Amino acid sequence: MRAPALAPCRFLPLVLCVLAAGCSRGVDRIAAPAQSASPARPDLVAGDLFIRHATPAVAAHARPLGVAWQPAEMLVGVPETFAVRVHAIGHVPRFLAAFRTNATDIADAEETLGDDTWNELGGWRWTAPDTGTFMLHVTLDPYDGVPERDETNNDATLTLHAGVGGFEAQAIEFVDESGGHAVHTDTAPAGASVATVVTVAGRGAYANVREVVTANGVVVLDQRVDLSGGVLDAKVRRDTLRFAAAGGDVTYRVQLDPEREFPRESPADDAREAVLHVVTAPAP
């Protein structure tokens, strides 16, 4: 007798479909691994633009020039050095930095920075050509040669005022050299060897300034000198006159620019006086 035929399974197609689907998903997981994320773009961030030799606190307390009540952060004719703080985020390739003032190009420089660092870029030199207010401007990567995550943070500006500066007669000092060593004094015995030290200084750029020194109204020095210096670093000049002290008091006076040939901040600083008391020994 023949064995009875097996009835067809109504669920076989469904089982095969489920198995096939499971196999298909398993193949997909092996054939298509997850893609790694692309590295983030670098970024250049411009910070403060500043005069390199002065901190912002010092610049804020510079001597006023009386021009619209603005501090004189620069002096006409005196070059200053400028720099900008830059934050490099990620790996930044070599890029260009452009330095301008009042829309006039001054310098372009190629720069290279370390990854994820704060840096100070610059060394740009600029001289104010006249009095007034100037805007200095630095742009990092001005032609978008570096693809950055943010292209709007590449600029730094600095607005400053340039003034005329001035010069001043700072001091007249007397040095008694008769004892074999120098002693600062305002009193000397008659006949002593005394040196008169005249100190003057400039803030700005002044060439061929007349300097006149008198003793009791008699001219003992009349010369032309060059005086210069910055807002914070006036350059000092000293002239020494030697004489034998005679009897009585001697009034020394130094006067800069007596004919007022140069415009400057405070003409009241142009002159200085000092008195040397000469003591005569009593008769025996």
- Residue of higher predicted confidence among 212 and 37: 212
| Structure confidence at residue 264 as a pLDDT band (50, 70, 90) | low
Superfamily of structural domain 43-163: Immunoglobulins (2.60.40.10)
How confident is the model over 188-240, as pLDDT tens digits? 888 888 899 999 988 777 889 999 999 999 999 999 998 877 665 667 888 88
pLDDT score at 282: 56
pLDDT score at 24: 40
| Structure confidence at residue 52 as a pLDDT band (50, 70, 90) | confident
pLDDT score at 65: 31
pLDDT score at 230: 67
Give residue limits of the domains in the chain: 43-163, 166-279
pLDDT over 80 at 70, yes or no: no
CATH class of the domain defined by 166-279 = mainly beta
Q: How far apart are CA 268 and CA 255, in angstroms?
A: 10
- Residue of higher predicted confidence among 22 and 229: 229
pLDDT score at 283: 47
pLDDT over 60 at 29, yes or no: no
pLDDT score at 50: 85
Q: How far apart are CA 35 and CA 32, in angstroms?
A: 9
Where does residue 109 fall: left (phi above 0), alpha (psi -120 to 50 degrees), or beta otherwise? beta
Task: Report the mean per-residue pLDDT for the chain.
Answer: 76
How confident is the model over 83-126, as pLDDT tens digits? 898 999 998 889 999 999 887 888 888 888 888 888 888 888 89
How confident is the model over 139-173, as pLDDT tens digits? 999 999 999 999 999 999 998 888 777 788 999 99
How confident is the model over 241-260, as pLDDT tens digits? 887 777 788 999 999 999 98
Same fold: 43-163 with 166-279 = yes
Q: Judging by DSSP bridges, how do beta strands 235-244 and 193-215 pair with one another?
A: antiparallel
pLDDT score at 233: 62
